[in-house]
Chain A
């Protein structure tokens, strides 16, 4: 496979909204969450800038939080900022929650101009969402965020693990992305329909790229975004040692993935 990835500059959202289809201005944000203390703040940021995105519907999936998300703790919804809340009664993993959000967002009747996957812990800002949406508005089918081109405070240990992950993902997917496991991505509907996530835990990032690579002809771009690491996100988020679990999950899918 060639190198279909090209870094593109952040697009101004105001230009972007009407470029693809004026009848579909809203953006769907697919957001898994589990016991996220920064959830309300993250949603408040999105609400405050929802108009810049052309209106937002957040598909929020509570992945078996010990203290289930209470709608009353979330920012009030407005016309430009809607929230659809779904709950997994037990914890399945981030990949499973993303897939639930994907199925909700692709339900018949719901039309969005872009579908953005975004973490709930505050690592991803609205600027990043605007950037990846802008790429979709400019004609890309899939836009992956690249934290190394943005103003990100990536810890040194995480950089090393991500370098290994980048090498591994290139090997198994053929996609030459500079940022292997960035949760900030955007898809158009055509691309999202092809990305059925079966990896319940963290291996879904590699799996998504596998789907994108297999669907020849998709225009894939990488977009500079900023990822903000906080003490909480580092403590709760993906651990460096999780790389071994990702490899195990990918191997299990390789061996038994077609068994059901």
Chain B
């Protein structure tokens, strides 16, 4: 195992442990999903030749590319969806704040 692979494994398990304890029992199912994905990632880090043979099976040259291509596509999509959700949330917040402001608007009486 290379030094880089060892460091990546430490990072992966460190993140899982941190999330497990920092969330203190909340979102257990999400943590289990994270654990599953990270374990799969750890397996490819520890045994990179497995990723390469899988890549060859589908006509991709390197194992890292086999993992990178879908990951980048997924991240770009996730980024766009998340920005769209932010825009929608901002519009909802604006709508609520404005409705409240208009409902409470008052003319200042003469003094």
Interface residues of A (CB under 8 A from B): 61, 71, 74, 76-78, 82-90, 92, 96, 99-100, 103-104, 198, 200, 252-253, 255-257, 259-260
State A242–B104 Cα separation when bound (angstroms): 32
Report if B90 contacts A (CB, 8 A).
Answer: yes
Mind listing 5 A-B residue pairs with CB under 8 Å?
A88-B101, A90-B93, A100-B102, A256-B88, A259-B88
Cβ-defined contact, B102 with A104, below 8 A: yes
Residue from the list A86, A104, A260 in contact with B91, Cβ < 8 A = A260
CA distance A83 to B106 in the complex (A): 8
Partner of A89, one of B87, B91, B92, B97: B97
Residue of B nearest to A82 (CB): B107
Q: Tell which of B84, B87, B92, B93 has the most Cβ of chain A within 10 Å.
A: B87
CB-contact partner of A103 in B91, B102, B111, under 8 A: B102
Contact of A92 among B88, B97, B106, B108 (CB under 8 A): B97
Q: How large is the interface on B (under 10, 10 to 19, 20 to 34, 35 or more residues)?
A: 20 to 34
Q: How far is the CB of A50 from chain B (nearest CB, A)?
A: 13
- Report the minimum CB–CB distance from A104 to chain B (whole Å): 6
Q: Closest CB of chain B to A186's CB: distance in Å?
A: 22
| Nearest 6 A/B pairs, CB to CB | A86-B105, A86-B101, A76-B111, A256-B87, A83-B108, A71-B108
B83: interface (CB < 8 Å): yes
In the complex, the number of residue pairs spanning A and B with C-beta atoms less than 8 Å apart equals 73
Contacts of B101 in A (CB 8 A): 61, 86-89, 100
A77: B residues at CB distance < 8 A: 107-111
The residues of B that contact A200 with a CB separation of less than 8 Å are 90, 94
B102 in contact with A76 (CB, 8 Å): no
Structural contact, A96 and B87, CB atoms closer than 8 A: no
Closest partner residue, chain B, to A93 (CB atom)? B94
Complex interface: chain A residues within 8 A of B72 (CB): none
Query: Would you call B100 an interface residue if the criterion is a C-beta within 8 Å of the partner chain's C-beta atoms?
Result: yes
Q: Are B111 and A252 in contact (CB under 8 A)?
A: no
Given A76-B110, A77-B109, A77-B111, A103 contacting B98 (CB threshold 8 A): yes
Task: Give Cα A84 to B80, complex, Å.
Answer: 40
Note all chain A residues with C-beta closer than 8 A to B83.
Answer: 252, 255-256
Residues of A within 8 A of B104 (CB): 86-87
B84→A256 contact, CB < 8 A: yes
**Separation of A200 and B92 alpha carbons in the complex (Å):** 12
In the bound complex, residues from chain B placing their C-beta under 8 Å from that of A96 are 94, 97-98
Would you call A86 and B102 a contact (CB within 8 A)?
Answer: yes
Alpha-carbon gap, A87 to B100, bound state (A): 8
> In the bound complex, how far is the Cα of B2 from the Cα of A66, in angstroms?
55
Inter-chain contact B110/A100, CB cutoff 8 Å: no
- The residue on B at minimum CB distance from A61 is B101
Q: How far is the CA of A256 from the CA of B81 in the complex (A)?
A: 10
Apart from A77-B107, A92-B94, A100-B102, what 17 extra A-B contacts exist at CB < 8 Å? A74-B108, A77-B109, A77-B110, A82-B108, A86-B104, A86-B105, A88-B97, A89-B101, A92-B93, A103-B98, A104-B102, A200-B90, A252-B87, A255-B83, A256-B84, A259-B84, A260-B88
